[in-house]
Every structure is written in structure tokens, then in C-alpha cells.
Structure 1
């Protein structure tokens, strides 16, 4: 139902609402990095308290982001239409105001992800340096005392044959190094692949905010070309991420193809829900 409230007042309220959302988000992000770093240090490099705190912050900010779309659809959009006005003008006005909210939603998504990459990348570097120091200790054969040659990037128990007496030794890196493997490999690789992650996330955000072709709502119609851009960005991200992870843990190289195909299959399972992806003109193999 259309409102008799002048559109100028509606857009002023919309602008004020968006400004408050932006202010709260920026204040929270300005405090998050230092707070998470302090939690990591206080926990003696145990990332769990920091991770729990960040997850709580992230959920709060995603809820804040959702308020933009909810407020638009519940309180703003219909009030901007004037039943006695020119349809083209009213449509352009609605699109313009919608774009303000969309831009802030995108900014929150981008900055939230960028902050997460920085927080966890910094934490992973701290943990990784300590883990490497522990792994660079003196590991000797239990039978003859000859120093053992431990392969690079090993954060788990392995058998190592002594070059002198041929005895098989069990190399145990210690609890700290063992627990550091996945955390460090994932977040350091994610940091390396940040430009690709940002592009992939932006493409996905655009798809998720797009409207069906027959919808009357404001927004960009979803197209096959849009989905293909998301596909290309996803391929690039996983390629860079997985190769960066191998630089940290070389033994992951043996599973590169399997890991890449598994990640992309997850994408194809997800994108298959869109009718545009099922178009006869789509030549992707995994449709």
C-alpha cells in the first residue's frame, strides 16, 4: 500500500537509517582487530577464544546488514511509489534509493571479510612462527643419536628412517605444532588469495541480491552471464588458495586435483538451484 508521506521525508529517513548502520559497523570494526589480537596473546596463542569472539562479532554485523534489506522491503520501497505520478520517474527514484542500501550491504560484506582475513592471517603468522621454531629443534635417532632429517612443512607424526642405522623413528612434533597445521595453512593461504576471495565473494553477493526476471522488485535481474562470472571467480580463488596452501604444507600437492574438483563440485551443487544456470545456452560441463 502506498503512503501519503512525501517522498523527500521518506528518503531522508532512509539516509539517516543507513548512516546509523554505517556508523555502528565502522565503530565495531575499529575495535575488533585489536581486541582479537589481545585475546590471542592472553590465551598464549590458542586461537579458540579469539575465534569465538570474532564469530559473535560477525553474526552481529551480518544481522546489522540484514536490517538494511528488511527495512527497505518492509518500510521504504512501497512508500516511494506515487500512484498519481509518472511510472518511469517513480521507478528511477526507487532504483536510486535501492542502490544506496545495496552499496552499504556490499561495503559491510567486503569490510567484514577483509577484517576477518587480516585478524586470522595475523594470528596464523604468529602461531606458524612459533610452530616452526619448535619443529626446528634437535630430533635425533633413539638408537644411535644421529640427527634426523625432518621434511619441510610436517606438523603431524610421521615415521623417519635414520640415515645412519636404518632404525625407524616416530617423529612427534608436539601438541602445539600438530594443532597449528590446519589453522595456519588455511588462514595464511586465505590471506594470499585475498584478492581472489574478494572477487568471488562480490560475484556471489551480486547473484544472491539479484532478482528473478519476472519480479517487480527493485534490483538487478539475475542472468546466466552473472552466474558464469561467479563460476570463473570461484575457480580462480580455489586455484590460488590451494596452491598457496601447498607452499606451507608441501604434502598437500598430492591431493591438489581432488581438492580443487571437490571445491568446484560444491559450487556446482549450489548454483544448480538457479533456473538461469539450467539454460540450454550454458555450456559448463558440471551443470
Structure 2
């Protein structure tokens, strides 16, 4: 085997090892995060901090590709021939792939952890509450994450029920994370549409923008409706949220096409 092929084989083996370690690290991160959530009595913030630390370590694997290339691989390849650029592309493609996989994994993991937290919080909140006046059983709504004012059906006393702290946390970021997972398909379509535009480097045909606008609208419409199924109060913001996202699209298009 000549020296060139030996270096290429070593580089290929290194990239394969990085990809394998990356996959193993994601699997470990998921298992560790799920375990930490349960073991911490569903302390969501602590679990997220733990995940962020693991994510930083996983990203170091991607950084290792450029580091090894710059310090070891490229200098050796340049000594024996003009083929380094093709080999560098292999590393660049893998780096992009791993970053894309990491972002997708994070979206899925945070959605799964949020669903586990949501199920736990609903279970805690779904306990008996009694009227302060007549002691009749009253039931809070599981899609309103705030203090609730419930009129007793027996004596008409208005009861103020302050749900558990974990239940109150569900109403915002938790439902967002769950909605992201529920609308992953629409998100992928939107991302594919914007990537097609990016590849044209400011010269995308109008038809591409029409495709992206449709995908953008369908994703955000699906996302906001998915949130509403979990937190009914977000219905009041739906119209404003849709208008805000449409404005964001228009501003982005204007910047990219002028």
C-alpha cells in the first residue's frame, strides 16, 4: 500500500470512529437525561443543565475533526501530493451531518423529557380538591396552568385553587417542546424548503419562495395549534402569533432578495 492510500485509510478510519463515538454519546445522553429527570424528582431545570453539559462534550467530538485535520492529517498529505482538498471535504461533510443530527436529537430529547415532565405534573395536579365552604369535590382543568377560580356546583362558592409548582411550569416552555415534536414532519418540510433557497445563494426563483412560504405557514400553524391542545389559554395569542411569524417571513425574504 502506498503512502497516499495509507493516509486516506487512516483519515477514513478516524472519521468513522468519530461518528461512532458521536452516536454512542447521544444514546448515553438520552439515557442519562431520562434517569436524571426521574432521580431528581422531576427537576426539569437541573436535568436541562445536565444535558447542556453533555451537549458541550458531544460538540467537542465535532471540533476534533478540524483539530486533527489541521494538526496532523493535512500536513502529512501535502507532503506527498495534491489530494488534501478532497479529503478535507469528507471531514467537512461529516461535521455538518453531526451538527444537523445533534440539533435534531436535541429537539427530540427535550420534547421527550418535556412529555415525561408533563405527564408527571398532570398526575400530581389530578388530585382531589374540595370546596372551602361545603367540602364537595371540585376538579381543576388540566389545560390551564395558573391559579384557577372554580365555582362549586353544590353551593356556588368560588374557590381559588393554586396548583402545584410543577404543574404551573408546564404552561410555557414545556408545552413548546412537546409541540415541536408533534410537528416534526412539518418542521422538516419547512427546513428543506429554506435549505433549497440557501443553496441558490440569493438567486432562488420566486417559486422556491412560494414553496417556503407555504411550508413556513403550515409549520407555524401546526405548532401553535399543537400548543393550544395542551394550554388552552394560548388560543388567545394564536392570531398574533401567526401574524408575527408571517412578518418574520416577509422580513427574511426582503433581506435575502434585496
Fold in common (TM above 0.5): yes
How do 1:176-215 residues align onto structure 2 when only pairs under 5 Å count?
176-201=166-191
Distance 1:203 1:177 in 2: 37
Aligned-partner SS, 2:57: helix
> Contact 1:40–1:50 at 8 Å: present in 2 too?
yes
Larger CA deviation: 108-117 vs 32-41 = 108-117
Alignment partners' CA distance in 2, 1:257 and 1:248: 17
- Checking the alignment, whether the CA contact within 8 Å between 1:139 and 1:147 is kept in structure 2 is yes
Shift of 1:159: 2.0
Residue 172 to residue 19, structure 1, CA distance change in 2 (3 Å): same
Tell me if the contact between 1:154 and 1:249 (Cα under 8 Å) persists in the aligned partners. yes
- Within 5 Å, which residues of 2 pair with 1:1-287? 11-12=8-9, 14-65=11-62, 100-201=90-191, 221-225=200-204, 228=209, 231-269=213-251, 273=255, 277-279=256-258
Structure showing the higher helix proportion among its residues: 2
CA deviations over 1:12-66 (Å, ceiling 9, x no partner): 5653453343133122112111111111111011112221121122233345445
Q: Please state how far the C-alpha of 1:192 moved relative to its aligned partner.
A: 0.7
Contact 2:37 2:43 in 1 (8 A): yes
Deviations 1:78-118 (A, max 9, x none): x6xx89xxxxxx9xx95x65663454234313432343234
Instruction: Give the superposed CA RMSD.
Output: 3.8
Unaligned runs of 5+ in 2: none
Cα distance between partner residues in 1 of 2:132 and 2:216 = 48
Deviations along 1:99-146, whole A, 9 cap, x unmatched?
Answer: 634542343134323432343233223222222223322223222333
Task: Give the Cα–Cα distance (whole angstroms) in 2 for the partners of residues 272 and 69 of structure 1.
Answer: 35
**Residue segments in structure 1 that go unaligned for 5+ positions in a row:** 1-5, 84-89, 211-219, 280-287
2:45 and 2:128 mapped to 1: Cα distance? Answer: 29
Q: 1:121 to 1:161 in 2, by over 3 A?
A: same
Question: 2:175, 2:227 within 8 Å by CA — same for their partners in 1?
Answer: yes
The 3-state SS of whatever aligns with 1:225 is: coil
Contact map agreement 2:134 2:155 (CA 8 A) in 1:
yes
Task: Please give the TM-score of this superposition, normalised by the length of structure 2.
Answer: 0.75
